[in-house]
């Protein structure tokens, strides 16, 4: 009896699709709107969203763990640059972790509206 070998080929697109935020299987709760300020941090969580009028800090990531902050999920229309001191706006965020007092909640950004960029002088 002859054996037949079947070759399977994995076809990848020439460009990878942007990771999704809303509908991501790692999201643990409903997405919600936040009016806040995005700052560029200097440690593991580079992008931080601070809701205006609160002491909360939301870490922008691609999942629930600190290492997921290396490749954050946010809209490509939100052009982040190193000369931006802060970015203000209304952001739709989807949580990867539940809120916990004294801890940074990890989220991704689905959309951004009314964006104002404050540049460094």
Domain 32-119 has CATH 1.10.3470: no
Six-digit token string for 24: 């991501």
Residue at token pair 């763990």: 65
Tell me the pLDDT tens digit for each residue of 44-70.
898 999 999 999 999 999 999 988 889
- Strands (DSSP E) contained in the chain are 32-40, 47-51, 58-60, 84-95, 105-119
Give the pLDDT mean for 82-97.
89
How far apart are alpha carbons 70 and 21 in whole angstroms? 15
How far apart are alpha carbons 32 and 10 in whole angstroms? 37
DSSP string, 65-97: SGGGGGS----TTS---TTEEEEEEEEEEEESS
Q: Which pLDDT score is estimated for 17?
A: 55
Specify the pTM.
Answer: 0.79
């Amino acid at each position: 009896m002859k054996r037949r070998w079947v070759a399977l080929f994995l076809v990848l697109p020439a460009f990878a699709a942007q990771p999704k935020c809303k509908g991501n299987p790692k999201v643990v709760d409903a997405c919600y709107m936040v009016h806040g300020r995005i700052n560029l941090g200097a440690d593991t969580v580079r992008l931080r969203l601070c809701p205006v009028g609160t002491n909360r800090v939301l870490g922008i990531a691609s999942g629930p763990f600190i290492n997921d902050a290396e490749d954050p999920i946010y809209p490509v229309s939100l052009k982040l640059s190193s000369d931006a001191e802060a970015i203000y706006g209304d952001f739709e965020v989807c949580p990867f972790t539940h809120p916990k007092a004294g801890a940074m909640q990890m989220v991704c950004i689905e959309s951004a509206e009314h964006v104002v960029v404050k540049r460094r002088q």
